[in-house]
Amino acid sequence: MTVKDIFESMDYGPAPESAADALAWLIDQGDRFGHFIDGEFTEPGDGFLSKNPATGETLATLTQATQADVDAAVAAARRAQGKWAKLGGHRRAKYLYALARLLQKHARLFAVLETLDNGKPIREARDIDIPLAQRHFYYHAGMAQLMEDELPGRAPIGVCGQIIPWNFPLLMLAWKVAPALAMGNTVVLKPAEYTSLTALLFADICRQAGLPKGVVNIITGDGAVGQMITAHPDIDKIAFTGSTEVGRQIRTATAGSGKALTLELGGKSPYIVFDDADIDSAIEGLVDAIWFNQGQVCCAGSRLLVQEGIADRFHDKLRARMATLRIGNPLDKCIDVGAVVDPVQLQIITDMVDSCEDGEIFRADTDLPEGCFYPPTLITGLTPAHPLMQDEIFGPVLVSCTFRTPAEAVQLANNTRYGLAATVWTENVNLALDIAPKLIAGVVWVNATNLFDAAVGFGGVRESGFGREGGWEGLRAYTKPSGKPKTLSPILPHEGSAGPEGLDRTPKLYIGGKQARPDGGYSKSVYSKSGKLLGQVPIASRKDVRNAVEAARGAAGWAKATAHLRAQILFYIGENLSARADEFAARIDAMVGGRQGHKEVDAAISRLFTNAAWADKFDGAVKPVPLRGAAMAMREPVGVIGVICPDEAPLLGLVSTMAPAIAMGNRVVLTASQAFPLAATDFYQVLDTSDVPAGVVNILTGPASDLADTLAKHMDVDAVWSFSSADLSAQIEAASAGNLKRTWVNNGQVRDWGKADAQTFLNAATEVKTIWVPYGEG
């Protein structure tokens, strides 16, 4: 080809990146790897091949971990953890800084090895993955330095089991290892079976950095190894990124174990284009949203929603742009789309698209090289309920439908079981900032896509998991309250046989702002310590739970009420409770036995005032991200929260859970103390006189175990908290796996209800949504 020909066609010529250094490093290791345990590589054992998906060539042989390997790695991490934590934040920061520097020094080696192992274009590995991994270690070196001052009363969790996917092997490692180490934890990490090589190279730089033995341990293998880590009794936390199906299995497997858990799972993220958008810019953003990393991105903008008036023009321009995408050798710096990670994943993508009998399928007309390549694909004309509009394909396949109005766009965008990310494209900033808060997603990008930074929390809602990676939000998941917890003994109701004295006043359930008789028609007696009958309370059934949740869902307007209004109502509840303080104190003394009533009522009033004060002050933040724009971390209510109230503080415990939840805009279904329920049934009379909107607070009485199970399984409940003196943790966590709702359980441990601890409850009552808004002309 002559220079004249090049100027005529304007085609890109090849710009291959040399793989020599990466291949030399593999050869230096003998092309065979053991595990990295206690600061050393073990002897290679029986294992599996790591192959280049673009060529099918074998890169190395990796060792399949056994239970003995997992035990050895966990034991090494356990031995190292106490010493690592005692080093203090400053000394840990120096190690993290050293790791960041070594990642920079070996950046090209990491990028090439990542491309060889994963199949992604070298430009993406070089310009995105590796710099972001470095950024996480630099950022968390600073977090380690600040921990002792900024997170008082928090301690490391201990040994963290971390399981990462194959789409961003080194970046996912950095997301998990950096905050864990910064907070004083040690780790046992399992990289994906397909893509373990950059994790093993990272192990090598851990040795170069002089990281103490056992702080980082890396073991390789298939999903069975992940199951061994999840089930290991000496691991304190599991952090998993991967599919929703496996996340659900991990939630079930860890139920009742006391292990902390964070899940970053799948998505089917909407990419919304309004008719006033800069169409050319929106299409370039869409190319990045869906064909970045061959669409193998959990937050990929795989669901295109285009306003009807511009849909035809947009799709035509998009097809023209797809025709120019360059597919080929991922080591070529001119390539846009590389190889799918493995033949198994390629077959999954192929089967899903081939099964589509609806809509119009457009594939980019391009020659595909030998290897795991799939052409960029657009499917238009699908209904919102079509399986390909609902199910994650995890490949370079975009599905599309249209909308007419902004309200319909929101409805279609939220019509999914996922809630990881969303993109809004419009030139109207008012429209963008109106739509973004309405989208059910952990991250929203405005006129941009796939923006990430270590300072910004990333994570989802619904079946996209729970917890955040990065920022202050991500750090809390690697800490726990300092101090040794005490075991909570079950508190049983008093027994008696005496009959009622005087006029019988039977309490009812409180549902939708009204007193309601139990659907089952059953009640139980409540006795004093001396055996005197104090009253009878209804036994709520599954139908009563259903009615209460339905009422709470119907009160969704509470989340839109101003924080000032919510504060005023909480103050009003406190005032009205204060007016009846003697009555409530006497009731508590009669039920519990003793003279704690006045102290508990005073604390409950104070707790109401504290949460009223926080209602308009527990705010978000604008994160200092390295771009011309703002990343706004906004606090949003979780939704409908079911609470199993404590027995040891029947009024104070109820108020301490209810007040922060409704202060943040949630609606609650409270199940009263099973042992001492009359304080709760008296309390709804206070709510009736305090302007609380119907459905915001619902109160049930009955067996805690039955009600907890129903709430945890309910698909319209967003979170369940349990502080019952009967340890219901395993039951609730296992049942919650259905829709992966958030859980906060006591694991049978004592909580000091006399301690306010407001921010812990406020954090549990909110989700952080990050809205990225770039600004400026260029």
Query: For residue 479, what are the CA distances in angstroms to 149, 153, 186?
Result: 14, 10, 12
The conformation of residue 34, written as its DSSP 8-state character, comes to: -
Task: Please state, in angstroms and rounded to a whole number, the distance separating the CA atoms of residues 44 and 66.
Answer: 12
Query: For residue 233, what are the CA distances in angstroms to 70, 75, 412?
Result: 11, 11, 43
Query: For residue 259, what are the CA distances in angstroms to 75, 176, 231, 471?
Result: 17, 16, 10, 22
Cα 120 to chain centroid distance, Å, stands at 25
Query: Tokens standing for 621?
Result: 């933040």
Task: Please state, in angstroms and rounded to a whole number, the distance separating the CA atoms of residues 727 and 747.
Answer: 6
Half-sphere exposure of 178 (CA within 13 A, CB side): 32
The answer to whether the beta carbons of residues 588 and 650 sit under 8 Å apart is yes
The answer to whether the beta carbons of residues 404 and 398 sit under 8 Å apart is no
The conformation of residue 470, written as its DSSP 8-state character, comes to: S
What are the backbone angles phi and psi of residue 544, rounded to the nearest 5°? Answer: -65, -40
The answer to whether the beta carbons of residues 28 and 60 sit under 8 Å apart is no
Task: Please state, in angstroms and rounded to a whole number, the distance separating the CA atoms of residues 776 and 629.
Answer: 8
The conformation of residue 427, written as its DSSP 8-state character, comes to: S
Please choose, from the candidates 289, 282, 344, the residue with its C-alpha nearest in 3D space to the C-alpha of residue 317: 282
Hunting for tokens 């996912």 — which residue is that? 172
Task: Please state, in angstroms and rounded to a whole number, the distance separating the CA atoms of residues 463 and 392.
Answer: 12
Query: For residue 685, what are the CA distances in angstroms to 368, 392, 514, 577?
Result: 71, 48, 10, 10
Hunting for tokens 């699908």 — which residue is that? 382
Task: Please state, in angstroms and rounded to a whole number, the distance separating the CA atoms of residues 669 and 547.
Answer: 10
Per the DSSP assignment, residues forming a β-bridge with 698 are 669
Q: Which amino acid is at 129?
A: D
Three-state DSSP state, 95:
helix
Task: Please state, in angstroms and rounded to a whole number, the distance separating the CA atoms of residues 376 and 760.
Answer: 46
Other CB atoms within 10 A of residue 397 CB: 26
Q: Which amino acid is at 701?
A: T
Q: Which residues are catalytic?
A: 264, 298
Cα 407 to chain centroid distance, Å, stands at 26
Half-sphere exposure of 199 (CA within 13 A, CB side): 37
